[in-house]
Chains A and B, each alone.
Chain A
Amino acid sequence: MPLNRNQFVRFVNVHKAYDVNTLVVKDLNLDVANGEFLTLLGPSGSGKTTTLMMLAGFEEPTSGDIILDGRSINGIPAYKRGVGMVFQNYALFPHMTVGENLAFPLQARGMSRADQKTRILQALDMVKLSAFADRRPAQLSGGQQQRVALARALVFEPSLVLMDEPLGALDKQLRDHMQLEIKHLHQRIGVTVVYVTHDQTEALVMSDRVAVFNEGRIQQVAAPAEIYQNPQTDFVAQFIGENNRLEGRVAEISHNESTIVLKDGTTVRSGSVAGTTSGEKRILSVRPEAILVGSDAANLPNSFYGNVKEIVYLGDHVRLIIPFGGPEELSIKLTHRRAAAISVGDQVSFGWKPEECRALV
């Protein structure tokens, strides 16, 4: 097999079952490019962690092949794979100092003491913890421990680093900070990263590409913007960002647009999704921020009127709740300025462009 830069890691028809009743991972096919930051995103139980564990060597696929750098790594134990890993609880060895923790992978590789020392200093310098080599993990804050774990996974210069929800235990502010720090680190050293999280923001902020998992299957693999703006399935639309779901049937299909009839008979024009046929049941997906209110909405192809049921104050913005399309409600994101003139019970005009809305399966 020719070595392909875009196929540094390959999952080929990988299945994983823990018992005869359930497949945790179903027919997984996924390529990871060299130097890429790929995030496996999904709710718990979606198979993303299992996929990572199979790549790390802690789980064996029930069938299928995992190929790393052109070589099948099925049956190769974790310690021979040379893959760095950062764990959710950091898994820093509590009986060793930070320096000893970092020396551990180097000792396992039989590196000379002097080389170890240089490497450790470099790695600590990289995560800005040079002064902490003699501390015990317990003497460090959560963020510092996280950075040590990163340094330890990188100190032996693996070509692939796996991260299993590494920011899960940090508070929000620190998490936001570490997201950028990890991203910058990745950009600087160019290592391939496979990152697992259930936090969509994390996935969008850090990744080159995101693979959305649900019930053991990949729903969509794409760059963050693509995932957010062009979700291919209802699940992806729901899971990434906020979303209005409107159930309806396809009435008419033109070249790149389709007309959907909602339960109460309202017709909505939407961007088309490949393979749609007339009469099919579809779910319309509109982002709250894509809906315009007031005069902006008047001339749009999708323009409606409705009564404001509720106004929710959310700090940096306001949300209008308007019943629409039968049993459903629309949630509309507005700035304070635009919402200032609106109060509960008011009739407002609202609407969106067809390309801002998608009819999904």
Chain B
Amino acid sequence: MSTLDIVDDTTGVSLDRRALRRSLHRVGRRQRLLSLSLVAPLGAFTLVFFVIPILAFFVFSVANTEVPRGLPLTTEAIKEWQGDGLPPEGVFEALTSDLENAENRTAVIGAARRLNYDVAGFHGLMTKTVSGLSRGALEAGAPVESSPAPDGFSIFGNDTTPTESTTAKPQTPIERLTGIDARWSQERYWKAIERGTWPVTPLYLLTALDLRIGDEGSIERVSPDHRIYLTLIARTFGVSASVTLIALILGFPLALFIKRQPANRASLIMFLVLVPLWTSILVRTTAWLVLLQGEGLLNDLIVMLHLSETRLPLIHNRLGVLVAMVHICLPFMILPIYSVMKGIPPSYTRAAASLGAAPARVFFKVYLPLVFPGLAAGVLLVFIMCLGFYVTPALVGGPRDQMLSYFIAMAVNRDLNWGLASALSIILILIVALTLLVFKRFASATLAR
């Protein structure tokens, strides 16, 4: 008998183990293919609209292609520079050539914008230099290929004041550039260009954390008046936590109440809880706008009842944001808690009471641990939903109530700064991931106890 055979003790029939495995595999394959084909559409959807965009965020947040594309010669030449003092003359010459290359104008604008993210004012410097160079070329009798850089592309203020380079004597590239703007003799601008030639850049991620690479090359905090993002992250976290807590405080007793109602009344209340989900968040937020604004219904009522002499600021502040967000999130808190409560048979609490536990002990020692999975699901769901809120704070919040999403949208729509938008998105994703991780640890610790 070979080792491949297995023998049935009772019948003595021997089976070829390998043949058995083969036929098992054959039978299983159809099943596997079927299962796979069932999830394939969703898998493809997720890949295209979820996984790839997120990977793209990661790439965008460190991408550093603008400077090599806009200033190819400079990129090549600056490799020779050791970083001490000013770069060698060849770099100045390369930059001059890059900036004079009119065919590459769009890419130069891109590079200028990218460098401006690193060192404020760089955009203006580039604009001024391009126009200065073309003017200089005009005076030197060179053929004019294009007008000076149009003012329109400057976003960060326009300092293209004509320089008084009236003397048309032959100049070295260093003299030409520093002649147009003295800032070219400062090391930090060249270092910014050098950082722009790195294969990847930490710039956006650092910016998103209120950090920058200082002139000495070390990472430092940005000046206090530029620090916005840490506050923003803390605010996003704080607002989400507040909304979650309020929703929990309001939702848990309601779920408990519904649970204690007779079945038909319970389903009616549950229906009422779910009705708001049928309308869009935008509509519900606007409704709060109508209710809470200075001339709104609630204020009318308050004034009518003489509860307050003046109309209260209920909206465009933190209060309005919390009210509207809690309202939107409440069903997502109640649903999981209620569904878990419904699954707990009354015999558990009865057993606890029959064993001599007073109502408080029954609640904290038996009922709460049993409902915990529902609480955890509700808290997690609402908290993570809140982290990504955009429309509601944008409509009912003031300038100091905007959350991460708002700044991501602003970076994309207004500043066209995809790198920063991606970096902020990644921070948001990391917060969510961290929340899940902490929660999982906490939840399993609580349950394992």
Point out residues on A near B: beta carbons under 8 Å: 56-58, 77-85, 87-89, 91, 93-95, 104-105, 108-109, 152-153, 156, 162
A89 → chain B, closest Cβ, in Å? 6
**Majority SS at the chain B contact face:** helix
Establish whether residues B358 and A91, one from each chain, have CB atoms under 8 Å apart when the complex forms: no
Given contacts A88-B347, A89-B347, are A79 and B369 in contact (CB under 8 A)? Answer: no
Establish whether residues B357 and A93, one from each chain, have CB atoms under 8 Å apart when the complex forms: no
Q: Answer whether residue B200 sits at the interface, using C-beta atoms and an 8 A cutoff.
A: no
A52 → chain B, closest Cβ, in Å? 11
Establish whether residues B354 and A78, one from each chain, have CB atoms under 8 Å apart when the complex forms: yes
Given contacts A79-B359, A91-B347, are A104 and B365 in contact (CB under 8 A)? Answer: yes
Establish whether residues B370 and A105, one from each chain, have CB atoms under 8 Å apart when the complex forms: no
Binary contact track B351-385/A, C-beta < 8 Å → 1, others 0? 11111111101100110011010000000000000
Q: B447 — nearest CB in chain A belongs to which residue? A: A95
Q: CA separation between A58 and B362, bound complex, in Å?
A: 14
A159 → chain B, closest Cβ, in Å? 13
Q: Which of B341-357 contact A (CB under 8 A)?
A: 345, 347-348, 350-357
Q: A56 — nearest CB in chain B belongs to which residue? A: B354
Q: B446 — nearest CB in chain A belongs to which residue? A: A95
Most chain A beta carbons < 10 A, residue from B348, B355, B356, B372? B355
Establish whether residues B353 and A91, one from each chain, have CB atoms under 8 Å apart when the complex forms: no
Residues of A within 8 A of B372 (CB): 95
Q: B358 — nearest CB in chain A belongs to which residue? A: A79
Establish whether residues A78 and B370, one from each chain, have CB atoms under 8 Å apart when the complex forms: no
Other A-B pairs, 16, CB within 8 Å; known A108-B355, A162-B354 = A58-B353, A79-B356, A79-B362, A84-B354, A85-B351, A87-B350, A89-B345, A89-B347, A91-B347, A91-B350, A91-B351, A93-B351, A95-B370, A104-B352, A105-B356, A156-B355
Most chain A beta carbons < 10 A, residue from B345, B350, B351, B449? B351
Residues of A within 8 A of B355 (CB): 79, 84, 104-105, 108, 152-153, 156
Top 9 A-B pairs ranked by shortest CB distance? A105-B355, A91-B351, A85-B354, A91-B347, A78-B353, A108-B356, A95-B369, A108-B357, A87-B347
A/B pair count, beta carbons within 8 Å: 69
B378 → chain A, closest Cβ, in Å? 18
Q: CA separation between A109 and B348, bound complex, in Å?
A: 18
A85 → chain B, closest Cβ, in Å? 4
Question: Which of A56, A84, A93, A104 is B350 in contact with, Cβ under 8 Å?
Answer: A56
Residues of B within 8 A of A105 (CB): 355-357
Given contacts A94-B370, A104-B365, are A87 and B358 in contact (CB under 8 A)? Answer: no
Residues of B within 8 A of A79 (CB): 353-359, 362
Question: Which of A77, A109, A152, A162 is B353 in contact with, Cβ under 8 Å?
Answer: A77
B349 → chain A, closest Cβ, in Å? 9
Residues of A within 8 A of B354 (CB): 56-57, 78-79, 81, 83-85, 153, 162
Q: B350 — nearest CB in chain A belongs to which residue? A: A58
Residues of B within 8 A of A109 (CB): 356
Q: CA separation between A289 and B370, bound complex, in Å?
A: 52
Residues of A within 8 A of B447 (CB): 95
Establish whether residues B347 and A104, one from each chain, have CB atoms under 8 Å apart when the complex forms: no
Number of interface residues of B (CB under 8 A): 22
Q: A97 — nearest CB in chain B belongs to which residue? A: B449
Q: Which of B311-368 contact A (CB under 8 A)?
A: 345, 347-348, 350-359, 361-362, 365-366
Q: CA separation between A81 and B359, bound complex, in Å?
A: 14
Q: CA separation between A127 and B372, bound complex, in Å?
A: 31
Q: A162 — nearest CB in chain B belongs to which residue? A: B354
Establish whether residues A93 and B356, one from each chain, have CB atoms under 8 Å apart when the complex forms: no
Q: A155 — nearest CB in chain B belongs to which residue? A: B355
Q: A109 — nearest CB in chain B belongs to which residue? A: B356
Most chain A beta carbons < 10 A, residue from B354, B369, B370? B354
Q: CA separation between A85 and B352, bound complex, in Å?
A: 10
Residues of A within 8 A of B362 (CB): 79
A3 → chain B, closest Cβ, in Å? 23
Q: Which of B248-285 contact A (CB under 8 A)?
A: none
Q: CA separation between A81 and B356, bound complex, in Å?
A: 8
Q: CA separation between A78 and B356, bound complex, in Å?
A: 7
Q: CA separation between A213 and B447, bound complex, in Å?
A: 43
* A-B CB contact pairs (8 Å), 10 listed: A56-B350, A78-B350, A78-B353, A84-B355, A89-B345, A91-B348, A93-B352, A104-B357, A105-B356, A156-B355
Q: CA separation between A108 and B447, bound complex, in Å?
A: 21
Q: CA separation between A88 and B89, bound complex, in Å?
A: 92
Q: B365 — nearest CB in chain A belongs to which residue? A: A104
Residues of B within 8 A of A156 (CB): 355-356
A95 → chain B, closest Cβ, in Å? 4
Establish whether residues A87 and B351, one from each chain, have CB atoms under 8 Å apart when the complex forms: yes
Residues of A within 8 A of B351 (CB): 85, 87, 91, 93
Q: CA separation between A108 and B366, bound complex, in Å?
A: 12
Most chain A beta carbons < 10 A, residue from B350, B359, B361? B350
Binary contact track B422-449/A, C-beta < 8 Å → 1, others 0? 0000000000000000000000000101
Q: B351 — nearest CB in chain A belongs to which residue? A: A91
Q: B345 — nearest CB in chain A belongs to which residue? A: A89
Q: CA separation between A79 and B205, bound complex, in Å?
A: 59
Residues of A within 8 A of B357 (CB): 79, 104-105, 108
Q: CA separation between A156 and B347, bound complex, in Å?
A: 19
Given contacts A77-B353, A79-B354, A156-B355, are A93 and B366 in contact (CB under 8 A)? Answer: yes
Q: CA separation between A153 and B372, bound complex, in Å?
A: 26
Q: CA separation between A57 and B356, bound complex, in Å?
A: 12
Establish whether residues B358 and A85, one from each chain, have CB atoms under 8 Å apart when the complex forms: no
Residues of B within 8 A of A57 (CB): 353-354
Q: CA separation between A95 and B345, bound complex, in Å?
A: 14
Q: B372 — nearest CB in chain A belongs to which residue? A: A95
Question: Which of B361, B369, B370 is A108 in contact with, Cβ under 8 Å?
Answer: B361
Residues of A within 8 A of B358 (CB): 79, 108
Q: CA separation between A88 and B347, bound complex, in Å?
A: 9
Q: B357 — nearest CB in chain A belongs to which residue? A: A108
Question: Which of B348, B353, B359, B361 is A93 in contact with, Cβ under 8 Å?
Answer: B348
Residues of A within 8 A of B361 (CB): 108
Residues of B within 8 A of A80 (CB): 356
Question: Which of A82, A88, A91, A95 is B356 in contact with, Cβ under 8 Å?
Answer: A82
Q: CA separation between A89 and B350, bound complex, in Å?
A: 12
Residues of A within 8 A of B353 (CB): 57-58, 77-79
Residues of B within 8 A of A93 (CB): 348, 351-352, 366, 369-370
Residues of A within 8 A of B347 (CB): 87-89, 91
Residues of B within 8 A of A94 (CB): 370
Q: CA separation between A22 and B141, bound complex, in Å?
A: 112
B115 → chain A, closest Cβ, in Å? 59
Q: Which of B188-231 contact A (CB under 8 A)?
A: none
Q: A79 — nearest CB in chain B belongs to which residue? A: B353
